[in-house]
Structure formats: C-alpha cells, structure tokens
Amino acid sequence: MPFIPHTEQDIQQMLTVIGADSIDDLFDEIPDNLRCAELTEIPLGMNEMEVTRLLRERAAQDGLPLCFLGAGAYEHHIPAAVWEITTRGEFYSAYTPYQAEASQGTLQLLYEFQTMMASLMSMDVSNASLYDGASALSEAVLMAVRANRKSKSRKILMPCTVNPIYRKVTEAIVKNQDIELVDVPFDPVTGQTDLTALATFSGEDYAALVIPQPNFFGALDHVDALTAWAADNKVLSIAVVNPMAMALLKPPGEWNDEGVDIVCGEGQPLGAPLASGGPYFGFMCCKQKHVRQMPGRIIGRTTDLEGKEGFTLTLQAREQHIRRSKATSNICTNQGLLVTAASIYMSLLGPEGLKKVALNSHKNCQALVQRLTQINGVTAVFSGQTFHESVLQLNTNAQQIIDELSQQHDILGGFNLSLDYSSLDNCILVCATETRTADDIERFAITLDGLLNK
C-alpha cells in the first residue's frame, strides 16, 4: 500500500486552520506530571529505501532452519493461491465492516469463515476471530464466568498441560477481575490431565473447566470423561484445541455426546505462516445458548426487501466493544486478514485435505519419535497417544543441545520444557508436521546423535 506522509508545510497549514501554533498545543490539557520524558532511545527516522533494507536484513537473520519446533505455532504447507488471493487489494486493505452496505464482500467472507469453523468444531456458532490463541482462552474464561449463572464462584480449573503462554496471558488478563485459575496436575506417566486429581474438586463450586486437545505435550486427553465431569458438577467446559487436529479427531461439539460449552484456540495452522511469531489469530465457538455472551464480532446472513442475500454484523452494536466493564469484550479490530487466509486455505483443502494434512503430521511425528529414541541418551517420557508433538528426555543439558542444534547446525530441535515444568528436567517437546520428510528426520537424528554421543 502507498505511504503518503504529510510534509512540514502540510502540518503547518493544518495547524494554522485550527488556530494552533504547534502539535504540542493540541495536547495542552494533559498535565505535565502525566507526560513521559523524551524518547531518547528511539532512533532517527529512515527513508523508504533504508527501512526496506533494514527489514530485509532482520528477516534474513531468521534464516531457513530445519524446524522440529511446535509448542503452539506450526509449519504447515500453505498453497500459493492462499496468499495470492488474501493480498488482493479488496481483502488486504479492508477495514472493520461496520458499514454493511459498503462491506458485503468482507462480511460474506467472515460469514463463510464462521460457518467453516462451526462445522470443524461441530458447534452451533462461531465468532469472526480474536487476536490469538492466548487471548481467545482469556476471553473464553471471562465468558464462562458470565455465562455460568449457577455458579457463585469466580474460579476456573486450569490443567497444567495447557500451553504455558496461554496460562500466563489468561492470568494477566483475569487476575484483576478477581478470577482465580486453579491448577489441575497431569499424570506423570501419560502426560494427560490427571482424572484422579480432578476428582478431588468434585462437588465444589467452579465456573469452568478448561480441556486442552491435544495438550501442550501433544498428548490426547480423555475428553469425554473430562466433559462429563464438568457437566456432572455444573461446571462449564472450555475446550482449547488445535484446529488441524479437529480434522482428524472427534470435535468438541461431540465430546460426551452433548459437547462442550465453549471452544477456542489458535488459528495459525490454518494458512498462516510462522512469520517469526506472528501475526496469528484466535478463534472461538460456543453453544447457541451462550451466544449473547460471546465476545468479538458475529456475522449474520439475511435477505433484503427484494429477497436478495445480504450480510451484516449481528447481535451486537459497535458501541458494545467500548463500554469497558459492561461489554462482553474490549476487542474491536481483530485479525481479519489472517481469517481471510484461513477461509481460503480451508476452502482449497476441504475436509479431506485437512484430514490428510493431520494424518501425515501424525505419521511423521511417530516416525520422528521412533527414530530419535533409537539414539543413546534419548527416551520417550509419556506413554499416552499424541498428535504431531511428543516429549523426549535427553541425558544431558537440553538447552545446551537446543542451542547447539540451532547455532551450529541450523536445526530448530524442540522446546525446552524445563523452562515451564520443573519436573521435566532436560525434556524437550519435538514436533513434525506434514512438511517434514524422511531425509529431514534422518538429518536431525544424525546431528542429535553426534551431539549427545561425541
């Protein structure tokens, strides 16, 4: 998109018209004690050529490493058509579709996204995306506290197997609203949520139970049993899922037959590149009875007086997003461009295509674990079933090995779990998607063997 800056002459002309001597005069009502000091660490401005070169150099620093790192962001193949269409001007520059008569294309795309996500999750309704998976879980927790009117509690049962970043973000967002996150431990043998430990909470008042599938370790949880426990104890259930896994596994809307109340997660696997950490987007679905408590935008389809199909924002007014504590959410502008890519990605692959991606990812992860555990000094940690990620323990300092793989061999060899789990010392989380080949796995194995058994 073109960038047309205002010249100093343009700025002075505008100030003259409104009767101000300087830009600072426009903010003279701000008391001096509330003003920050000079931004001394901010570098001088650059011209377009300098900025372009700088960003290319920064991008090149990431290189093209061989990636076996997952932990919440996954390297999947993205068909070329996805971003060729997404970056067309009508999508690339589209803003929030508040003015329905001028935004029918954007609104229809968002409606199609909602339809696909509701179908993938087997849920009644979907919103039109959130910022990312972590903030989506935070919003789901807030939503559950509002929606569970049978509960007087503001406590949420949060398994320790939920992505640590999601837990930290959720804690940061909800703690000042007097919402408490209560840890639920995992089984050290299977890596799944400990059902015995969960049973100790039975009969107590909790607003919701979070159910990850797969969990942060890649382990597949006993989702039917967890959903049933929540229903029996009048606790709302919040599923936080990998959408790619849902193309292969039973979707949350069918867990324990009745399904969960709310589903959320990170949408990055559906057509968004790793891109050095973002931008990504979050998604959320829920049962029809909770729709009035759902944050973010919801697009509806209708017909006009002439019977023509039309799309519009529904159930919420624009102003509800800025009513602070009275709003269902303070999220306004979301990640619509990423949703566009996801909609095109899912449309191109279809249900069978998504299932093949999930199956091949699962197959490659099994091959990876089988090959790596043949190495002296590498053992599998958990015995439960997994989906395209698994936990391995090394016989030496895991962080040192990860650093050597990255710095000396251009391999992203996994995530150091001891950073977040004291009981998993020298354990790494490894991942393989459909993009990994047998040669990739062999290269990783030979390199890791060389580092461990010099």
Evaluate if residue 211 carries a pLDDT over 50.
Answer: yes
Helices 164-174, 133-147: crossing angle, 10 deg rounding: 50
Same domain, 298 and 400: no
Domain finish residue from 344, 378, 405: 344
For residue 181, being part of any structural domain is answered with yes
Residue 47 within a domain:
no
Please state, in angstroms and rounded to a whole number, the distance separating the CA atoms of residues 195 and 185: 9
Query: Residue 25 falls within a domain, yes or no?
Result: no
376 falls within a domain: yes
Q: What is the pLDDT of residue 333?
A: 57
- Tell whether the model's pLDDT for residue 1 goes beyond 50: no
CA-to-CA distance for 124 and 180, rounded, in angstroms? 28
The 262-266 sheet, strands edge to edge: 125-126, 282-286, 262-266, 236-241, 208-213, 155-159, 180-184
The count of domains in the chain is 2
pLDDT digits (tens, 9 = 90+) for 378-423: 999 999 899 999 999 999 999 999 999 999 999 999 999 999 999 9
Instruction: Tell me the residue range of the domain where 277 lies.
Output: 80-344
pLDDT digits (tens, 9 = 90+) for 265-322: 999 999 999 998 889 999 999 999 999 999 888 999 999 899 999 999 888 755 555 6
Give residue 225's pLDDT band: very low, low, confident or very high (50, 70, 90). very high
Same domain, 115 and 210: yes
CATH number, domain with residue 370: 3.90.1150.10
Mean of pLDDT over the chain: 93
Would the pTM count as exceeding 0.85?
Answer: yes
Q: Which of 320, 344, 368 is the last residue of a domain?
A: 344
On whether residue 24 sits in a domain, the answer given is: no
Q: In this structure, are 339 and 372 located in the same domain?
A: no
